[in-house]
Amino acid sequence: MTAFAEMCNQVSGQDDPLSARRSHFSAKADRVIFIYATGGVSHVDTFDYKPSLIKDHGKSILASRWLNKSGEFERFLIKPHWGFQQYGENGIWVSDLFPHLSDVIDDVCVLNAMHCDSDGHDKGTLAAHTGSAQFARPSVGSWVSYGLGTVNQNLPSFMVLAPHAPYAGAQTWGSDFLPGCHQGTHVVPGADPIKNIQPRVASKRLQTMELGLLRTLNETKQSERLNDAAVNARIRSFETAFGMQSAAPEAFDITQEDQRTLEMYGITAGDRSGFGWQCLMARRLVERGVRFVELIDVGSNSNWDSHGNMADHERLAKNVDKPMAGLISDLKRRGMLERTLVVWTTEFGRTPFNMSPTHAGREHHNFCFTSWMAGGGVKGGLSYGVSDEYGIMATEDSAHTHDLHATILHQLGLDHERLTFRHAGRDFRLTDVHGNVLHDVLQ
Amino acid sequence: MKRDKSEFSKILNMYLLRMQVKTIGLVLIMSLTGILSAQSEFDQFEKNIRPIFLKHCVQCHGEDKAESDLRLDAPEFWEIGGISGPPIVAGQPEKSLLLLAIKKTKPDFAMPPGEKSLTPSEIENISNWIRTGAKAPRTNLAATDKRLDLDEASAFWSFKLLKRPGVPVNKQDRWSRTPIDQFIFNTLRASNLTPVSDTDKCTLIRRATFDLTGLPPTPEEINDFLEDNDPLAFQTLVNRLLSTSSYGERWGRHWLDVARYADTAGDGSDYPVREAYKYRDWVINAFHKDKPYDEFIREQIAGDILAADTTQAVYRDLVTATGFLAIGKRYGYKQSPDYQHLDFADVIDSVGRSILGLSLGCARCHDHKYDPISAEDYYALYGIFESTVWAFPGGEEQKRPADFPALVPPEEIERLEVAREDRLSNLRRQIQQLGLQRSQLDGQRDTGGLDLGMERQDLGRSLKQPWVSSGAVEIRQDAQSPFANVHSKGTRGVRIGTGPKTDGIRYVFEPGLTAKNDKKMYFNIDFRTGAGTEDGVYRIYLGQGVVQSIAVEFSISRDSFMLKHGTEWELLQKIKTNQWYSLQVEIDSVSRTYSGTLATLTAQTRFKAKNTVPGWNGIANCFICDGFGHKEGPVLVRDIDNIALTTTPLNAIEQVIEPPTKTAGSEEQLAILRQSIDALKEEQQNIESTAVSEVAYGVSEGKPVNSHIQLRGEPEKLGDQIPRRFLEVLGGKQVPAAYTGSGRLQLAQWLTDPSNPLTARVIANRVWQWHFGSGLVTTPSDFGYRGEQPTHPALLDWLAMELIENNWSIKHLHRVIMKSRVYQLSSEDSPEAMVLDPENKLLWRYSRRPLDAESMRDAMLAVSGNLDRSVPGAHPFPDVNTWNFSIHQPFHAVYGSNHRSVYLMQQRNRRHPYLELFDSADPNVSIGKRQQTVTPTQALFLMNSEFVHAQAHMLAHRIAITVADRTERIKYAFAVVHGSIPSTAELQSANRFLEEYSSEAVKAGAGDGLKEAWQAFARVLLTSNSFLFVD
């Protein structure tokens, strides 16, 4: 057991790995909504405004990397496919792809000089979630669950709302070597979001009787023992599950929301899926104490991976723009934004250049991309980090995925260097041996 | 009140213990703090303090910096202290400046600086350590945390030579029954622990049966055992269980965890591996047959090489065994060195963890931080695997499997291939002959018949169906070709006049030919260019659809015949106008090349090895003659005749086919011919689509190479070349320089050489762990410096020697372990022992164990009567010819089954939902010890899943048809599900439940109530702890 886990047990006095735990230091945020845009979002078409790229459109440059190969490649600059305007008090640049998000930009901190190590989808997705592009490691949500536990024992601590599996499948939200209760519970938007949540017996009374006999038999057995954590936990898990049968449907009950709220998220009548639904459910879940909610917008196909035609970004942006803006506004009007960290990221950006000046698509680009954060003690209306004149390399105040992870943990009061787990002979961290908290973006 | 009392007794116990500590001394302090293996006064420092100093202090207060003149990297320095004086006052934490600093109560005297702080437990540990005298070895902290060097390694417990230790003899030992017990008793005694009583026979048979077979005992088996009063009854039971096939399925599964077994490849698109199951079955069978463990390992590393000198039956098994190497998570989209270093990383790490208990993977980027494993060691092994050919399972960019080793020897393959080719050419000949006969009878046939229906066209008109034409196209008598080798001499041909390039003629072959089935395609066309003087062209096209995918293209001008070689137009020969030519083309759709002849009645030009147009999709179903040639210009007038596309070779130019003769009975003859041809073609297709021999997912020998060190693990940054050899710490023997193999054979021998102390220790510990839930070493795949030390080092060595000296028989280990008294202890509590050793590390009782995922599902199926005990074959994966999985559309399937869970299709990336929910091994890495989680989502499965309800229904039915009386039914249900006899209280609860539930069910409108009540009762039994745990 790590020193940290030991301390937590001393604090909570329990062995339950999901019980709420004290953070390392005082936290700015209590929960995270992590939005993942699958496929690789073009930074120069969304948040990273590059006038030189427009001016020098069609000019050739020498790229140092192309399709995962190093070398010198003559390529042609391609201007953004959408116009940009400045929004909010600080004039943050946002492209026409996000008309709604630009309305709440004063709450958003745009990170324009993100970079990561991998330009493949599988590895990029794993790295964005686990810090490791190559090996199976616990997801950021699992680390947070491990570090802080959860305050609502009737719901899982880490939930993932995704219509389809992303690249790397369930490894994306896997707990790997962390105890399995920290793995993300995958919820597929639709009528049956949590498996086996519906009782199969005719009445609640009947189920209560069944669980009553179960408890009686278990307690008879238990009376022979003073202390058996696993047996105790199993007994308790039935009680939590019983609670979940009503807590989860209640949490997912959209009928409790008024028309105005649904409107904010762009949810139409009778909608039980879609990204608006995901965003609204994220608010409802964090409201009910779920520690970490991840939203994945698409899946491993028909996503932001616009190799052939960037025009597809329009459809994908439209899918998420209003829901995300609605989420931020809704959290804010309920006074929840302050303590809820919203993070938006993707596996990598897309090349500001291509094989010909008229090429309609863009390729994978991991040297520079954009992520953003909102709420949770992060400065709003800030554009942090600068890329070079064409958006090819992250130049000033660059931030690696590890830094983003370190910052997320930091806002939750967790020191990324101290949140460790002993596995296979060494202490593992989310940030491996890297990561710096982005103090400049914090309030 | 009750709580107070128990609190009181706890406190009292603690008090009593403290009193004992004073008299018993140090050993007990150790057990109190949970350090059981340690025997040194510096343990507290080593375990709790050194890591804190290293982590938080010595970076600034060490050799490099010594801020404020203070160094905390050795006692000699902190005894002197820095500018504020000595930081530690032994025995007096409250006077120690160190403690004041780390508590951070005074802002100007707070350490470590910044927002970092020590945890309360770290502070507590330092305080305790100072209070107890601040003892530390008089060495430098940082120096001793360096990795073990080779000299130190030979003294480290796991690298020490293996010797049979003496069995401890204790005169007061009235408890032990076997040598194992004597080791256990000795340690218990030293820690002042007393074992609990032996367990009852009911519990024992349930424990042994689940342990060895993963299934519950039946009431009959329990009864037999209870009635067997022979003192050797338990040994008889163990022997019976060991002989069942269920034993292989249970213990094979343990090894499959270690071997990271899955049925899919694991890259982003997660291709299915149809042959993976053969390795799985090989493992199950190896346990069943008690294959000696050293042989078991050797075959998995080098089975294909060992197979060279064996019989056919053994050959198959030996090649299959190498699945162990191939079965790991793959990273490649295609067969390419760009990706393979990650596959090698997986295999080196897996071999290290599974067989040696070493984390070799750490040495990929640099020398191992703690263990005596260098990067040289790593790349020495790397070379062995790089000299090996790996079965490629299929991936996004290369969607078909490749290099799967055959299950028969090479000479046998050769023989089979020759035989197959013989049969195929024989078939082709027969088909051709029958085809010719058919042509004689049938004018409508495509190949040899009347010119694809051209002979039925009307003179003076344009081409009609089945042809398509546009522009100036006319059927004419004088457009008739003089050749009769492909179609018999007819009466007409087609003249295509000039006009737009898009004009011309088209014929669609139904069905067309595809590269998959038709390796060779033969195409014929006769043409004559008109006598005009314009410098223009026309084109002959063959491919899929209307130029959707081009196979071959020819362009003809007045004086040149051009063919397309890949993407380039190439001049074949100069030609004349007004001269008939016959073009014959043979396309090899496998190599994507073509050859042929261009002939006049008197001369022939041959051409060969021309490439088909790149990107051709392998389908030929459309012929076009239009105006898109190799250059611009007016489209030339030309005559066209005798077009044919076949899978049988065309007749030579000089041959003459006679016109068909229709006679009485020719229709019947034709029907017979058609049938025969179809049957032959089907046979041909079957042979062609079946591999010449069965294959396995394994490895074979490749070109021997020595690998270069990859600096920081990056394959582009190469360092020195390292000869292939074994780990230096285990002898470092080399693959002989002149040896032409990969070195896997040597590796297999080094791994299992009795002088290598790790292999036997590691497996002995695993077997112990799989029996007791926890190993003597609790880090079963890490026997290195950072792993846990054994709780019973002598016992571990005794077991390892017992294994080696009994021909590495795993079943022998089962027998000696299960015969011991410690195995047969009750799982009951002992209040005293609970305080001294709450985790039962010293085995004062048997630790209750939860059923793992497989056992739980199998047991539910078994008691409901639904379990299918047969061994299923291959998984019902989609046909390999349809595989088109990509990272965007990965393979995913869950196949229903009532077979034992070990046979479920184990998908690597999207795991089987049930197995994942209940913590089965993650097949992405070698798993030595499974996670055990208890989650509400598991409980939801137990409460509400279709599976549990289905088993409960069947179980209720089974109970109802077996016994009539209600109380007897309840007893029977307990016996079947829990293997126990219910207490009076349990009987009462059950009876009351059945009554109340049935009347409530009637109220809720659920049937007659009674049936539902029994089903509910069955569910309770199936989900209660007496079922879900093994005592």
Q: Which among B362, B369, B986 is the nearest to A220, CB-wise? A: B986
The share of chain A scoring above pLDDT 90, in percent, equals 64
Name which of B200, B984, B1024, B1027 to mutate to probe chain A: the one with the most chain A Cβ atoms within 10 A of its Cβ.
B1024
Higher pLDDT, B989 or B443: B989
pLDDT digits (tens, 9 = 90+) for B149-167: 777 788 899 999 999 999 9
Higher pLDDT, B107 or B969: B969
On whether the CB atoms of residues A377 and A154 are closer than 8 A, the answer is no
pLDDT higher than 80, residue B667:
no
Q: Which residue has the tokens 């029954």?
A: B177
Name which of A217, A220, A415 to mutate to probe chain B: the one with the most chain B Cβ atoms within 10 A of its Cβ.
A217
Q: Do B828 and A25 touch (CB under 8 A)?
A: no
Please tell me the predicted confidence (pLDDT) of residue B439: 66
A311 touching chain B per CB within 8 A: no
Q: Do A206 and B270 touch (CB under 8 A)?
A: no
Higher pLDDT, B668 or A258: A258
Q: Which residue has the tokens 């489209």?
A: B635
Cβ-based contacts of B1006 with chain A (< 8 Å): 201-203, 206
Please tell me the predicted confidence (pLDDT) of residue B792: 96
Name which of B9, B13, B121, B342 to mutate to probe chain A: the one with the most chain A Cβ atoms within 10 A of its Cβ.
B121
Please tell me the predicted confidence (pLDDT) of residue A104: 97
Cβ-based contacts of B267 with chain A (< 8 Å): 122
Tell which residue, B274, B318, B278, has the closest CA to residue B300: B318
B750 — pLDDT class (breaks 50, 70, 90): very high
Q: Which residue has the tokens 């899946």?
A: A299
Domains of chain B (ranges plus CATH)? 40-145 (no CATH), 444-659 (2.60.120.200), 853-1030 (no CATH)
pLDDT digits (tens, 9 = 90+) for B524-544: 999 999 987 788 899 999 999
A354 — pLDDT class (breaks 50, 70, 90): very high
What's the pTM? 0.70
B666 — pLDDT class (breaks 50, 70, 90): confident
Cβ-based contacts of B892 with chain A (< 8 Å): 165
Q: Which residues sit opposite B635 in a β-bridge?
A: B537
* Lowest model confidence (mean pLDDT) among A191-195, B223-227, B492-496, B902-906: A191-195
C-alpha distances out from residue A58 to A52, A80, A353, A355, B461, Å: 11, 12, 9, 10, 55
- Which amino acid is located at B251 in the chain? W
A431 — pLDDT class (breaks 50, 70, 90): very high
Q: Tell me which residues of chain A, numbers 284 to 303, contact chain B at a CB-CB cutoff of 8 Å.
A: 300-301
Name which of B145, B344, B934 to mutate to probe chain A: the one with the most chain A Cβ atoms within 10 A of its Cβ.
B934
Tell me how far apart the alpha carbons of residues A178 and A371 are, in angstroms, rounded to a whole number. Answer: 27
Q: CB count, 10 Å around CB of B789?
A: 18
B446 — pLDDT class (breaks 50, 70, 90): very low
Kindly report the CA angle at A366 between A363 and A372, in degrees rounded to 5? 110
Q: Do B116 and A220 touch (CB under 8 A)?
A: no
B91 — pLDDT class (breaks 50, 70, 90): confident
pLDDT higher than 80, residue B856:
yes
Please tell me the predicted confidence (pLDDT) of residue A70: 76
The share of chain A scoring above pLDDT 70, in percent, equals 93
Query: Residue B280 CA to chain centroid, in angstroms?
Result: 10
Higher pLDDT, B427 or A42: A42
Please tell me the predicted confidence (pLDDT) of residue A227: 56
Residues with Cβ within 8 Å of B54's Cβ and at least 6 positions away in sequence, in order, are B141, B142, B145
What is the nearest CA distance from B416 to chain A, expressed in angstroms? 41
Please tell me the predicted confidence (pLDDT) of residue A7: 29
Cβ-based contacts of B369 with chain A (< 8 Å): 426
A170 touching chain B per CB within 8 A: yes
Cβ-based contacts of B1019 with chain A (< 8 Å): 210
Cβ-based contacts of A423 with chain B (< 8 Å): none
A220 touching chain B per CB within 8 A: yes
- Which amino acid is located at B539 in the chain? R
Q: Do B943 and A242 touch (CB under 8 A)?
A: yes
Mean of pLDDT values over A47-71 = 90
* Token pair recorded at residue B985: 């209280």
Cβ-based contacts of A300 with chain B (< 8 Å): 268, 887-890
Q: Do B924 and A170 touch (CB under 8 A)?
A: no
What is the nearest CA distance from A169 to chain B, expressed in angstroms? 6
What is the nearest CA distance from B834 to chain A, expressed in angstroms? 9
Q: Tell me which residues of chain A, numbers 397 to 426, contact chain B at a CB-CB cutoff of 8 Å.
A: 415, 417-418, 424-426
Mean of pLDDT values over B797-807 = 97
Please tell me the predicted confidence (pLDDT) of residue A187: 86
A347 touching chain B per CB within 8 A: no
Tell me how far apart the alpha carbons of residues B668 and B665 are, in angstroms, rounded to a whole number. Answer: 5
What is the nearest CA distance from A52 to chain B, expressed in angstroms? 34
Q: What share of chain A is helix, strand, coil (3-state, %, to 5)?
A: 35, 20, 45
B909 — pLDDT class (breaks 50, 70, 90): confident
Please tell me the predicted confidence (pLDDT) of residue B77: 81
Tell me how far apart the alpha carbons of residues B138 and B345 are, in angstroms, rounded to a whole number. Answer: 39
Q: Do A199 and B1012 touch (CB under 8 A)?
A: no
Please tell me the predicted confidence (pLDDT) of residue B720: 92
Mean of pLDDT values over A40-49 = 98
Please tell me the predicted confidence (pLDDT) of residue A8: 28
Please tell me the predicted confidence (pLDDT) of residue B22: 35
pLDDT higher than 70, residue B87:
yes
What is the nearest CA distance from A236 to chain B, expressed in angstroms? 8
- Which amino acid is located at B506 in the chain? R
Q: Which among A171, A198, A236 is the nearest to B909, CB-wise? A: A171
pLDDT higher than 90, residue B660:
no
Q: Do B1026 and A203 touch (CB under 8 A)?
A: no
Q: Do A196 and B941 touch (CB under 8 A)?
A: yes
Name which of B55, B119, B930 to mutate to probe chain A: the one with the most chain A Cβ atoms within 10 A of its Cβ.
B119
Cβ-based contacts of A248 with chain B (< 8 Å): none
Q: Do A199 and B831 touch (CB under 8 A)?
A: no
Q: Tell me which residues of chain A, numbers 240 to 279, contact chain B at a CB-CB cutoff of 8 Å.
A: 240-245
Please tell me the predicted confidence (pLDDT) of residue B38: 32
Mean pLDDT of chain B: 87
Q: Do A196 and B986 touch (CB under 8 A)?
A: no
Name which of A12, A206, A224 to mutate to probe chain B: the one with the most chain B Cβ atoms within 10 A of its Cβ.
A206
What is the nearest CA distance from B224 to chain A, expressed in angstroms? 25
What is the nearest CA distance from A213 to chain B, expressed in angstroms? 7
Mean of pLDDT values over A148-172 = 87
Please tell me the predicted confidence (pLDDT) of residue A10: 32
pLDDT higher than 60, residue B205:
yes
pLDDT digits (tens, 9 = 90+) for A72-118: 888 999 999 999 999 999 999 999 999 999 999 999 999 999 999 98
- For B275, list phi and psi in degrees, rounded to 5: -95, -5
Q: Do B937 and A241 touch (CB under 8 A)?
A: yes
Kindly report the CA angle at B156 between B154 and B162, in degrees rounded to 5? 70
Tell me how far apart the alpha carbons of residues A277 and A285 are, in angstroms, rounded to a whole number. Answer: 12
Residue of A nearest to B849 (CA): A230
- What is the CATH topology of the domain spanning A3-194+259-441? Alkaline Phosphatase, subunit A (3.40.720)
Please tell me the predicted confidence (pLDDT) of residue B85: 83
pLDDT higher than 50, residue A65:
yes
Please tell me the predicted confidence (pLDDT) of residue B141: 58
On whether the CB atoms of residues A83 and A100 are closer than 8 A, the answer is no
* Token pair recorded at residue B902: 């070990």
Please tell me the predicted confidence (pLDDT) of residue A228: 66
A308 touching chain B per CB within 8 A: no
Cβ-based contacts of A194 with chain B (< 8 Å): 937, 940
Mean of pLDDT values over B723-731 = 93
Q: Which among B120, B913, B934 is the nearest to A234, CB-wise? A: B934
Mean of pLDDT values over B897-918 = 92
Q: Do A176 and B922 touch (CB under 8 A)?
A: yes
CB contacts < 8 A, A to B, total: 226
pLDDT digits (tens, 9 = 90+) for A406-418: 999 999 999 999 9
Residue of A nearest to B396 (CA): A122
Cβ-based contacts of B940 with chain A (< 8 Å): 194-197, 241, 244-245
The share of chain B scoring above pLDDT 70, in percent, equals 92
Strands B718-722 and A369-375: unpaired
The share of chain B scoring above pLDDT 90, in percent, equals 56
Q: Residue B1002 belongs to what H/E stretch?
A: helix B984-1003
Please tell me the predicted confidence (pLDDT) of residue A20: 86
Q: Which residue has the tokens 């030996």?
A: B318
